[in-house]
């Protein structure tokens, strides 16, 4: 008889090790080649002084790339823009998604239609949707400026005025984050025993009390998860810039983000050292946030 | 406070769960809604609490029509089968919840919570989370949470069915004690006749959405309105002999001689003679018929014999000293109490 699993009381022998190892190999190879090796490479490159791409020569290891990146006002600006984007988009997307998820979870007419409608952006291409938003934001013909004109608000140059470009990016970023967030929150809501809702009603709680005292605390682990994942993905804001600003980092190069900076250093300027250093800086920032969130989540999930 | 329902009907699609039911639940009583699954007892409870809307009819608390009021406005305390304690709150916060949402001042709320915790004996568990409590403790906390707002009614849905046998007996006595001490009119749903009989003041026995009998426990047991009631209450179950009734008495199927009962009863036709196991006397009293012992066994402190009478089985309690064994022929007598005759077709009580 073949053994397929290692039981607790069995000693791990070569035979019991080999079979699961064989199953894991294809996956592990993929991870090693496409994730672990490049990651180690980035770490190394970020510390190499005067690294030359083609000849792979460098003069030694040091912090020169980091010093150069931090001295570059464009990078500081990119950090600032990314921070603003994350700080605005993540809370906004979470709150809006929570409201929509709660509505979708309640018994409303045409529930299926609404669910589909809210999940549509998930399956449409970022670029196609981005181009639609480019039209919505259009100064002369855009729907947004038209709606604003109904309230006697003057037309805003959403995409070409450096003062407003970040708001356009935030609005578009929030919108594109909604479907994923709603799906996860809705799944979390559906895991909450409906009995608590009935019990709370019998206890005399109003809908607002039920939402804040029962639903939100019970959903806290899911909300925490959504915030972590969205913070990580918002820190990597990059793709969104292309359709909105025609491939440039905002009007007059005002809206650099960290990833765009990295991309430009790497693909446009062929400066691998600073590119790797900026990637490492973003990685460390995201790592710190993730660790904080994980600690908080352990505290939340205390039942 | 008393509650009453008038011509209450509940339909789920084509299914009538409760059919034109009118009844009054007396103030201060402990009332059991009893019946087999699907009889409408939980539906009845949920209409009293307002969790499910009524299809037709009225619900009154004292003289106030509450038919259209949502649960929030009925001031009822609810205890669920699985307790539904809020898992993220401590025992204290769970008990306080109904007052917290009423924005009762903290000091007053804590004092009241302490009082409730003492009543249900969970005062030393206040800091724990529900997941750290046993089933019985969760039950107590759920009752405290239901009682803290001084509800007009305490409604319990199958409160004991999630507990193990020993704890169940303990908790049903606790429910009885808590009800006595708090004096709140309490209505609980159960499918267990023993549970209902042992603690309730009165029992409403339901079948297919219709009240079969609603009376004191004693009355249901001693004077069942129909065969279903007689069958449902009592363990071991009441003995049933099928046969026909005529001027000579009751002739069981397969028997050669009639059993002389009900001398002045005008009925004739197919009938069921139902005899409580304690009302069937073995080798004692005036012999009515003879039967053969099939088996005997102990049921706790009592001894039971199973006898065969014309191919039908009957159970009787006997004195455990009595020397009878399988194969013996014994004489059987009937007590005055606990012997009933029912119409076989309608189940209606004749005697």
Instruction: Indicate the helix (H) or strand (E) that contains B317.
Output: strand B312-318
Whose CA is closest to B144, among B125, B166, B163? B125
> Is pLDDT of B68 > 70?
yes
Say yes or no: B23 and B154 in one domain: yes
Which residues lie across from B12 on neighbouring strands? Answer: B15
C-alpha span between B297 and A224 (Å, rounded): 62
Statement: residue A302 has pLDDT above 60: no
User: Could you read off the pLDDT of A83-117 as tens digits, one per residue?
Assistant: 999 999 999 999 999 999 998 888 777 878 888 88
Length of chain B: 351
CB of B103 less than 8 A from some CB of A: no
B145: nearest CA partner in chain A = A203
Which pLDDT band, with edges at 50, 70 and 90, does A158 fall under?
confident
B246 exposure class (CB count in 10 Å sphere: 0-12, 13-18, 19+): middle
What are the structure tokens assigned to B191, written together? 């499918």
How many domains are contained in chain B? 2
Residue B286 domain flag: yes
Candidates B24, B55, B35; CA nearest to B210 is B35
In angstroms, rounded to a whole number, what is the distance separating the alpha carbons of residues B217 and A217?
45
Strand, helix or coil for residue A29: helix
- Show residues of chain A in contact with B130, CB under 8 Å: 303
CA-nearest of A235, B12, B180, A147 to B172 is: B180
Which sign does the torsion angle of CA B123, B127, B132, B138 carry? positive
CATH number at B169 reads 3.40.50.300
Chain B residues touching A301 at Cβ < 8 A? none
Q: CB contact, 8 Å: B104 with chain A?
A: no
Tokens of B172: 């049903």
Q: Choose from A50-59, A122-131, B193-202 the range with maximum mean pLDDT.
A: B193-202
SS3 A155: coil
How many whole angstroms separate alpha carbon A247 and alpha carbon A241? 7
Instruction: Check whether A6 has a pLDDT greater than 90.
Output: no
Residues from chain B that touch A203, judged by Cβ atoms under 8 A, are 78, 97-98, 101, 145, 149
Q: What is the pLDDT of residue A1?
A: 43
Same domain, B260 and B330: yes
Say if residue A192's pLDDT is above 80: yes
- Read off the pLDDT of residues B275-291 as tens digits, 9 standing for 90 and up: 999 999 998 888 888 99
Contact B71, B51 (CB under 8 A): yes
Are B97 and A203 in contact (CB < 8 Å)?
yes
- Is A222 exposed, middle or buried (CB count within 10 Å of its CB: 0-12, 13-18, 19+)? buried
CB–CB contact B131 A203 (8 Å): no
User: Is the pLDDT at B238 greater than 90, yes or no?
Assistant: yes
Residue B201: other Cβ atoms inside 10 A: 15
Query: Do B201 and B304 have their domain in common?
Result: no
Task: Give how far A268 is from chain B: nearest CA, Å.
Answer: 53
* pLDDT on residue A301: 62
Are B260 and B298 members of one domain? yes
**What are the residue boundaries of the structural domains of chain A, listed by start?**
66-300
Same domain, B250 and B184: no
Interface ipTM: 0.80
Decide if B136 is inside a domain: yes
pLDDT at A186 over 50: yes
Instruction: Give the number of other Cβ atoms within 10 Å of residue B205's Cβ.
Output: 27
**Does residue B217 belong to any structural domain of this protein?**
yes
Which one of A195, A209, A302 has the shortest CB-CB distance to B84?
A195
Which A-chain residues 187-246 have CB contacts (< 8 A) with chain B?
193, 195-196, 198-206, 209, 213-214, 217-218, 220
**Token pair 């009822």 is at which residue?**
B76
CA B312/CA B136 separation, integer angstroms: 43
Same domain membership, residue B216 and residue B255: no
Q: What is the mean pLDDT of residues A145-160?
A: 83
Is the pLDDT confidence value at A255 over 80? yes
Q: Which residues from chain B sit within 8 angstroms of residue A302, using beta carbons?
A: 88, 129
Query: Average per-residue pLDDT in chain B?
Result: 91
pLDDT at A276 exceeding the cut of 80:
yes
- How many Å lie between the alpha carbon of A210 and the closest alpha carbon of chain B? 9
Optimal mutation site among A202, A209, A301, interface B, most CBs of chain B within 10 A: A202
Name which of A195, A204, A220 is nearest B98 (Cβ-Cβ): A204
In tens, the pLDDT along A194-249 reads 999 999 999 999 999 999 999 999 998 899 889 988 998 999 888 888 888 887 88
* Chain centroid, CA A185 distance in Å: 16
CA distance B35 to B207: 6
B-chain CB neighbours of A193 within 8 Å are 84
Cβ(B316)–Cβ(B277) below 8 Å = yes
If one compares B222 and A121, the residue with the highest pLDDT of the two is B222
Q: How far apart are CA B80 and CA B138, in angstroms?
A: 11
How many helices (H) and strands (E) are present in chain A, helices listed first? 14, 2
Q: Is residue B144 part of a domain?
A: yes
If you average pLDDT over every residue of chain A, what do you get? 87
Pairing of strands B153-157, B76-79: parallel
Percent of chain A with pLDDT over 70: 95
Retrieve residue B93's tokens. 């916060």
CB A189 within 8 A of CB A215: yes
Least Cα separation, residue B155 to chain A (angstroms): 10
In a domain, residue B252? The reply is yes
Instruction: Establish if B351 belongs to a structural domain.
Output: no
Query: With a CB-CB cutoff of 8 Å, which residues 108-167 of chain A face chain B?
Result: none
| B132/B269 same-domain check | no
Does residue A49 sit at the B interface (CB-CB below 8 Å)? no
The mean pLDDT value for B297-316 works out to: 88
CA distance A187 to A181: 10
Indicate yes or no: CB of B72 within 8 angstroms of CB of A204: yes
In this structure, the answer to whether residues B263 and B148 fall within a common structural domain is no
Q: Which residue of B has its CA nearest to A214?
A: B86
Task: Identify the pLDDT of residue A4.
Answer: 52
Domain range for B296: 236-343
Query: In this structure, which CATH number among 2.60.40.4070, 1.10.3720.10, 3.30.2130.10, 3.40.50.10860 belongs to the domain A66-300?
Result: 1.10.3720.10
With an 8 Å Cβ cutoff, is A302 touching chain B? yes
> How many Å lie between the alpha carbon of B126 and the closest alpha carbon of chain A?
15
Contact A202 B71 (CB under 8 A): yes
| Angle CA A36–A37–A43, to nearest 5 | 90
| Residue B77 with chain A: CB contacts under 8 Å | 202
Q: B278 and B254, same structural domain?
A: yes
Do B220 and B116 share a structural domain?
yes
CB B339 within 8 A of CB B276: yes
Q: Do both B131 and B24 map to the same domain?
A: yes
Nearest residue to A296 (alpha-carbon basis) of A231, A238, A247, A235: A231
B157/B26 same-domain check: yes
Residue range B173-199: average pLDDT?
92
Q: Do A205 and B72 touch (CB under 8 A)?
A: yes
- From the list B84, B88, B102, the residue facing A217 with the nearest CB is B88
Selecting from A200, A213, A303 the residue whose C-beta is nearest the C-beta of B87 gives A303
CATH code at position B255: 2.40.50.140
Min Cα distance B54 → chain A (Å) is 17
Cα of B140 to nearest chain A Cα, Å: 15
Q: How many beta-carbon pairs under 8 angstroms link A with B?
A: 65
* pLDDT value at residue B264: 79
């Amino acid at each position: 008889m073949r053994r397929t699993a290692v039981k607790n009381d069995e000693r791990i022998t070569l035979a019991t090790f080999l079979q699961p190892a064989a199953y894991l190999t294809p996956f592990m190879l993929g991870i090693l080649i496409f994730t672990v090796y490049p990651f180690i490479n980035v770490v190394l490159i970020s510390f190499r002084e005067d690294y030359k791409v083609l000849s792979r020569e460098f003069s030694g290891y040091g912090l020169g790339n980091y010093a150069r990146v931090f001295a570059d006002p464009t990078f500081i600006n990119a950090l600032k823009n990314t921070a603003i984007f994350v700080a605005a988009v993540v809370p906004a997307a979470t709150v809006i998604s929570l409201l929509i998820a709660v509505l979708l979870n309640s018994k409303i007419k045409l529930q299926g239609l609404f669910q589909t409608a809210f999940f549509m952006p998930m399956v449409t291409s970022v670029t196609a949707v981005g181009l639609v938003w480019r039209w919505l934001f259009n100064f002369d013909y855009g729907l947004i400026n038209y709606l604003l004109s109904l309230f006697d608000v003057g037309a805003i140059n959403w995409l070409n005025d450096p003062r407003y470009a970040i708001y356009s990016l935030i609005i578009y970023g929030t919108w594109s984050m909604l479907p994923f967030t709603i799906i996860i929150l809705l799944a979390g809501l559906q895991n909450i025993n409906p009995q608590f809702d009935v019990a709370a009603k019998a206890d005399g709680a109003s809908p607002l009390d039920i939402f804040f005292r029962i639903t939100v605390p019970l959903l806290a682990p899911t909300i925490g998860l959504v915030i972590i994942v969205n913070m990580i993905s918002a820190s990597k804001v990059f793709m969104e810039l292309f359709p909105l600003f025609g491939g440039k980092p905002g009007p007059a190069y005002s809206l650099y983000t960290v990833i765009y900076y990295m991309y430009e250093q790497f693909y446009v300027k062929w400066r691998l050292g600073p590119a790797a250093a900026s990637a490492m800086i973003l990685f460390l920032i995201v790592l710190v946030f993730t660790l904080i969130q994980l600690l908080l989540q352990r505290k939340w999930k205390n039942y | 406070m008393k509650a009453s329902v008038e011509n209450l009907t509940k339909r789920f699609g084509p299914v009538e769960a409760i059919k034109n039911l009118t009844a009054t639940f007396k103030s201060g009583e402990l009332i059991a809604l009893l019946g087999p699954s699907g009889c409408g007892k939980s539906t009845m409870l949920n209409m009293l609490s307002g969790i499910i809307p009524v299809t037709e009819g009225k619900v009154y608390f004292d003289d106030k029509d509450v038919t259209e009021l949502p649960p929030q406005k009925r001031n009822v305390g609810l205890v669920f089968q699985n307790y539904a304690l809020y898992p993220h709150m401590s025992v204290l916060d769970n008990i306080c919840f109904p007052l917290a949402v009423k924005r009762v001042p903290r000091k007053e709320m804590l004092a009241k919570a302490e009082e409730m915790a003492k009543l249900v004996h969970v005062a030393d568990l206040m800091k724990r989370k529900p997941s750290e409590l046993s089933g019985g403790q969760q039950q107590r906390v759920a009752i405290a949470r239901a009682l803290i707002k001084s509800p007009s009614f305490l409604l319990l849905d199958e409160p004991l069915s999630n507990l193990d046998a020993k704890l169940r007996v303990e908790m049903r006595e606790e429910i009885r004690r808590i009800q006595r001490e708090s004096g709140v009119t309490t209505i609980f749903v159960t499918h267990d006749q023993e549970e209902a009989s042992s603690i309730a003041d009165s029992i409403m026995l339901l079948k297919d959405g219709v009240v079969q009998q609603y009376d004191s426990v004693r009355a249901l047991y001693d004077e069942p309105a129909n065969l279903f009631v007689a069958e449902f209450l009592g363990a071991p179950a009441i003995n049933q002999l099928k046969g026909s009734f005529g001027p000579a008495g009751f002739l069981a199927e397969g028997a050669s001689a009639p059993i002389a009962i009900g001398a002045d009863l005008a009925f004739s036709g197919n009938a069921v003679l139902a005899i409580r196991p304690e009302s069937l006397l073995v080798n004692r009293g005036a012999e009515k018929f003879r039967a053969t012992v099939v088996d005997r066994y102990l049921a706790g402190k009592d001894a039971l014999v199973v006898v065969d009478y014309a191919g039908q089985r009957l159970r009787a309690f006997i004195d455990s000293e009595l020397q009878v064994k399988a194969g013996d022929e014994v004489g059987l007598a009937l007590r005055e109490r606990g012997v009933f005759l029912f119409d076989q077709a309608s189940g209606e009580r004749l005697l």
